[in-house]
């Protein structure tokens, strides 16, 4: 399944103009689609395939970095790394083995 321009352009027709949306183009939906997928956790390779791009650089053009995505990226630093948790657990087990 690929979201291509003829498919959505045909379905939209002149609807945006009838609704008073100026400066709106069907192509805008591809940008929104790609950005929404990225923000919801899709990886760039999945997005590339869904948009039907041969080149990953082309897909990157479609991805917008939103304020929310920047905040989410910074918030990743507040999360404890899984490897650190595993390391703590192993250390606790080793300490208990020494006591026994």
Q: Is the predicted pLDDT of residue 14 greater than 70, yes or no?
A: no
Q: What share of the chain is helix, strand, coil (3-state, %, to 5)?
A: 70, 0, 30
Calculate the CA 30 to chain-centre distance.
Answer: 13
**Domain ranges for the chain:** 5-99
pTM summary value: 0.55
Select the more confidently predicted residue: 1 or 79.
79
Query: Looking at residue 27, what is its pLDDT?
Result: 78
Select the more confidently predicted residue: 63 or 87.
63
pLDDT tens across 15-61, in order? 666 777 777 777 788 888 999 999 888 999 999 999 999 999 999 98
Neighbours of 64 (CB within 10 A): 13
Query: Looking at residue 5, what is its pLDDT?
Result: 58
Give 37's Cβ-side CA count (13 Å radius). 21
Give 39's Cβ-side CA count (13 Å radius). 17
Is 67 within 8 Å of 74 (Cβ atoms)? no
């Amino acid at each position: 399944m690929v979201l291509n321009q003829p498919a959505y352009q045909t379905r939209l027709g002149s609807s945006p103009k009838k609704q008073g949306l100026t400066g709106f183009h069907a192509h805008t939906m591809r940008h929104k689609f790609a950005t929404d997928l990225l923000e919801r956790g899709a990886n760039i390779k999945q997005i590339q395939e869904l948009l039907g791009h041969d080149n990953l650089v082309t897909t990157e053009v479609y991805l917008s970095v939103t304020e929310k995505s920047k905040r989410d990226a910074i918030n990743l630093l507040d999360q404890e790394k899984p490897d650190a948790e595993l390391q703590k657990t192993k250390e606790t087990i080793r300490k208990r083995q020494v006591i026994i």
